Amino acid sequence: MNENANSVYLITGAAGFIGYFLSRRLLDQGIRVIGMDNMNDYYDVGLKRARLDQLMLYEKFEFVQGDLADKAAVVQLFEAHRPDVVVNLAAQAGVRYSIENPDAYIQSNITGFFHILEACRHYPVKHLVYASSSSVYGANEKVPFEEKDFVDHPVSLYAATKKSNELMAHTYSHLYGIPATGLRFFTVYGPMGRPDMAYFGFADKYFAGEPIKIFNNGDFANDLYRDFTYIDDIVTGMERLIEKPPAGGAPHKVYNIGNNSPEKLMTFIETLERCLTRATGREVVFDKIFEPIKPGDVPATYASTALLQQAVGFRPETPIEVGLQKFADWYVEYYGVK
């Protein structure tokens, strides 16, 4: 019998990309999962519902629709379910959207996370795991990015909110002994992923008969690099870290969770073309328009995963050809395109 079978896990953002896959992994092990999501329309709500429909098939899954910015709703949730472990993945995501709609980031990422911390203070948990982001590294030029690097110069509001989350969590760990772990995610991709991510958008544009925009000025010698990390690898790393709450005076840790193997953006795009070619049975070549890098974007993301390996003996390993093929196969089937 799974020793966690009697534990209650609260996953916020459960209808989101990472939240869905983590919830499913835990449910497959017989763990009771309470999923919370506000089901906002930042991207296709139909995709969120499709994920949720899969989770609702599990007897040990319970869904609560609510917003972290609503303090009373958060308190009520903790009072009713008394979670043993909290994984806070609910957040307003996206670097570029933080320039268009900053209010959403303050409400969700700052106020909402504060409510989670307060709830963990008053209803003690064994471990709080929360989403940070590789965006905190800003325009750092030293690669690979290490957790000890200076990260006080964010280049987007989104990154600033994630750095704030790390500071807030550390403070609450120090003051109230809450075991907390922050995860700096590096460009997570896979089937049922987020439509606002570049690889998903490239597929959308292609099947709509539109060109894709690539923000590297067409400079292939100095192309953008991204540490693309497949969703199953991310979930395995999270699963192992959940089992290892930090200890000590201020029981708070931050880890990079990435692939430790960055790819040129153009290599990634060419791989996606090949994968969609196999998925559709016809040659797929994107019509490409090259533009300057966007405000808030960074030239490279590259994770050092040495601390993650040291902590849980794990490093993500799925090659992009394998991960993108799974995405391409899912996309073609889900949207019925050929």
pLDDT of 221: 52
- Residue 2 covered by a domain: no
Closest CA to 7 of 21, 22, 26: 26
Is 9 a known active-site residue? no
Lowest mean pLDDT among 2-11, 39-48, 140-149, 180-189: 2-11
- Residue 308 covered by a domain: no
154-159 average pLDDT score = 90
Q: Given pLDDT bands bounded at 50, 70 and 90, which one contains residue 317?
A: confident
Q: Do both 76 and 137 map to the same domain?
A: yes
33-38 average pLDDT score = 98
Q: Do both 119 and 203 map to the same domain?
A: no
Q: Do both 156 and 218 map to the same domain?
A: no
64-91 average pLDDT score = 97
193-221 average pLDDT score = 88
pLDDT at residue 292 is higher than 90: no
pLDDT at residue 241 is higher than 60: yes
pLDDT of 314: 86
Domain housing 17:
8-188+228-257
pLDDT at residue 5 is higher than 80: no
Q: Do both 278 and 236 map to the same domain?
A: no
26-52 average pLDDT score = 97
69-85 average pLDDT score = 98
pLDDT at residue 220 is higher than 80: no
Contacts for 204 with CB less than 8 Å, ≥ 6 apart: 195
pLDDT of 96: 77
Percentage of residues in the chain having pLDDT higher than 70 = 97
pLDDT of 1: 43
* Residue type present at position 282: R
> Could you tell me how far CA 192 lies from the centroid of its own chain?
13
202-214 average pLDDT score = 96
- Residue 82 covered by a domain: yes
pLDDT at residue 55 is higher than 70: yes
Query: Nearest-5° angle of CA 185, CA 45, CA 75?
Result: 70
- Residue 282 covered by a domain: yes
Q: Do both 159 and 198 map to the same domain?
A: no
Q: Do both 180 and 240 map to the same domain?
A: yes
Q: Do both 161 and 98 map to the same domain?
A: yes
Higher model confidence: residue 27 or residue 220?
27
The pair of structure tokens assigned to 338 is: 């050929």
Q: Do both 217 and 69 map to the same domain?
A: no
Q: Could you give the CA distance from residue 279 to residue 254 in angstroms, rounded to a whole number?
A: 38
pLDDT of 98: 81
Lowest mean pLDDT among 61-65, 274-278, 299-303, 321-325: 299-303
Q: Do both 196 and 122 map to the same domain?
A: no
- Residue 307 covered by a domain: no
Q: What is the CATH number of the domain that holds 109?
A: 3.40.50.720
The winner for highest mean pLDDT among 68-77, 86-95, 135-144 is 68-77
Alpha-carbon separation of residue 193 from 43, 259, 298 (angstroms): 11, 17, 21
Instruction: For 204, list phi and psi in degrees, rounded to 5.
Output: -55, -50
Q: Do both 195 and 133 map to the same domain?
A: no
Which of 9, 137, 158, 331 is labelled catalytic?
Answer: 158
pLDDT at residue 168 is higher than 90: yes
288-297 average pLDDT score = 82
Q: Could you give the CA distance from residue 182 to residue 316 in angstroms, rounded to a whole number?
A: 17
Instruction: Give the chain's radius of gyration (CA, Å).
Output: 19
- Residue 324 covered by a domain: yes
What average pLDDT is seen over the chain?
Answer: 93
From first CA to last CA, the distance across the chain in angstroms is 45
Instruction: For 35, list phi and psi in degrees, rounded to 5.
Output: -105, 135
pLDDT of 299: 74
Q: Given pLDDT bands bounded at 50, 70 and 90, which one contains residue 262?
A: confident
pLDDT at residue 218 is higher than 70: no
- How many domains, the chain? 2
Q: Do both 150 and 198 map to the same domain?
A: no
- Residue 306 covered by a domain: no
Q: HSE (CB half, 13 Å, CA atoms) of 169? A: 29
State the angle between helix axes of 157-176 and 112-122 in degrees (0 to 180), rounded to the nearest 10. 10
pLDDT at residue 219 is higher than 70: no
pLDDT at residue 222 is higher than 70: no
Q: Could you give the CA distance from residue 50 to residue 42 in angstroms, rounded to a whole number?
A: 16
Q: Show contacts of 121-124: CB within 8 Å, 24+ apart.
A: 121/172, 121/176, 121/178, 122/75, 122/78, 123/78, 123/79, 123/82, 123/83, 124/178
108-133 average pLDDT score = 97
Higher model confidence: residue 226 or residue 66?
66
- Residue 137 covered by a domain: yes
Q: Do both 108 and 179 map to the same domain?
A: yes
Q: What is the CATH number of the domain that holds 196?
A: 3.90.25.10
